[in-house]
Amino acid sequence: MGIKRFKPVTPAKRHAEVTDFDELTTDEPEKSLLEPLKKSGGRNNQGKETVRGRSGGHKRKYRKVDFLRDKEGIKGKVVSREYDPNRSAWITLLLYADGERRYIISPLKLEVGDMVEAGDSAEVRPGNAIPLRKIPAGRPIHNLEFSPGSGGKIARSAGVDARIVAKDPEQIDVKLPSGEIRTFSPECKATVGQVSNPSHKNVKSGKAGRSRHLGRKPKVRGVAKNAVDHPHGGGEGKAYVGRPPVSSTGVPAKGGKTRKSKKSDKKIIKRRTKKKRG
C-alpha cells in the first residue's frame, strides 16, 4: 500500500506517481468470473454522445463482483487480492465451503487465508456483510445498500468508508463519504471495514498518454473555442467569459443546482454541501 516514484529520466517520469501494487497476490484473474466488456465511447443506444471526453482506452474484461453478498451462513476463504481495471479498489477472490468462487470489494486488513461470512450470525470484522442493526456505531463500513436486498451501491471506491452516527429500532443514520447524513433501514446490509487501496488518491499520471489508456480524451477550454461551439467561446484575444461558468450545453459548472427532486430526499438529514448565505 504505497506510491511508486521514478527517476526523472523523462519529463513524464519526473511527475508520475503510481500505485506500487505490493498488496496484490496474483496477476491472473479467475476465468470463470470474467465477462466481455464492450466500450460505449460515451454514446447511448441511439448513438448519441451523452458523456463527453470518452474514447479508446485499453481493452478490458469485466470482473463479476458480488455486491449482493447473499450467500449467507456459508464461510468463504480469502484466496487472493487482485487488480480490477474497472474500479479503483482492489478485489478479493473468495472460495466458499461449497466450492463456489466469488469476487468481493477488498477491504483493508483482510489477508489471504482469512475467513469471511455474510448474514446475522457473522461477526463484526472486516469483510463480513451484516445488517446495519448488528453493526456498532462508529465502525467503518462500505458496500452499503440503499434498500434491503438491492445490493451494495454506496462507498465502493478506493479508500472510502461510511459510518453509523445514530441508531434506533426504526431507522439508522449513516454518514456517507461525501459528508451527507442519510437514514437507512436497519435491515440494509453493509460490509465491515474501509475499502482497500487508500493511496489511489495520490496517483499522478505524469503524461497525457496514460489518460488515453484509461479512455479519457483531452479537454479543450471553453474560452479557446468559437462562439458556435461553446457559451464561453468567441471574442478577440483572451476574452472575459462574462457569465457564470457553464458546460458546452449550458449546465452550470460551479455550484449550480442540477439535481432533481426525488421521493428519497426525505431520508437526507444533512446534505453534503452547505447552503450559501444571503
Q: Is the pLDDT of residue 41 over 70?
A: yes
Are 104 and 191 spatial neighbours (Cβ–Cβ below 8 Å)? yes
The C-alpha cell of 97 is what? 465451503
Higher pLDDT, 2 or 95: 95
| Domain 219-255 annotated CATH 4.10.950.10 | yes
Cα 54 to Cα 105, 144, 217, 219: the distances in Å are 25, 29, 6, 10
Average pLDDT over residues 71-83: 96
CA–CA distance from 4 to each of 15, 17, 100, 197, 204 (Å)?
Answer: 11, 6, 36, 13, 10
Which of the following CATH numbers is that of domain 24-41+58-196: 2.30.30.30, 3.40.50.10470, 3.40.190.10, 1.10.357.20? 2.30.30.30
Calpha distance 131→134 (Å, rounded) = 6
pLDDT digits over 216-258, tens only? 999 999 999 999 999 999 999 999 999 999 999 999 988 888 8
**Overall pTM > 0.85:** yes
- What is the structure's pLDDT at 47? 95
Model pLDDT, residue 278: 44
pLDDT at residue 101 is higher than 90:
yes
Task: State the Cα–Cα distance between residues 175 and 164, nearest whole angstrom.
Answer: 6
Q: Does residue 276 carry a pLDDT above 90? A: no
Instruction: Determine the Cα–Cα distance for residues 142 and 123; give it in Å rounded to an integer.
Output: 16
Sketch the domain layout of the chain as residue ranges: 24-41+58-196, 219-255
Sequence-distant (≥ 6) Cβ neighbours of residue 270 within 8 angstroms: 179, 180, 181
Backbone angles phi, psi at 126, to 5 degrees: -55, 130
Give the three cell numbers for residue 183: 437514514
**Mean pLDDT taken over the chain:** 93
Angstrom distance (rounded) from CA 80 to CA 159: 19
pLDDT band at 120 (very low <50, low <70, confident <90, very high): very high
Whether residue 273 has pLDDT greater than 80: no
